[in-house]
Structure formats: structure tokens, C-alpha cells
Amino acid sequence: MAMESLLTILLIGAIAGWLAGLIVKGYGFGLLGNIIIGIIGAFVGTWLLGRLGVSLGGGIAGAIINAVIGAVVLLFLLGLIRRR
């Protein structure tokens, strides 16, 4: 993996985690935790939207929206588990 690809993944994950933390209030894990959730959420979003047959297009904007959707789902599920 090239250094540019790694930086792009981290940047998209950071933006997605931050946005997901704003959307799902009370379920956040702090800045660093939300960034990690954003990176994992990118994979969750890709899998989930692929299973639903939804395509958000390509490019950075599509990747960020995809990652935010996955991160929101992941934050919500982790929040439910953490509150029990």
C-alpha cells in the first residue's frame, strides 16, 4: 500500500468518524476513538450498502458518505452494547 493511499484512508476515516460523532450524540468514543470507528465504519458501510444494492458513486465525497453511514451504524450498535 502506498503512503498516499494510507493517508487518504486515514483522512477519510477521520472525517467520517468526526461526522458520525456529531450525528450520533452520546455514543461517541472521543476524537481518536471516533477516527478509528470511522476507519472501521468505511468497511462496514461498503459491506452494508453493497448488500443493499446502493451505490453512492465514486470519488472522495462518495467514500466519505459511505464511511459516515458505516460509522453511524457502528457507533449506534456499539452504544447500545455499551449502555447495557
Domain range list for the chain: 3-83
Contact 20, 44 (CB under 8 A): no
In terms of C-beta density within 10 A (0-12 exposed, 13-18 middle, 19 or more buried), how is residue 38 classed?
Answer: buried
Q: Please state the pTM of the whole predicted model.
A: 0.81
For 50-78, the pLDDT digits (tens) are: 899 888 877 888 888 888 898 888 888 88
For 8-17, the pLDDT digits (tens) are: 877 888 888 8
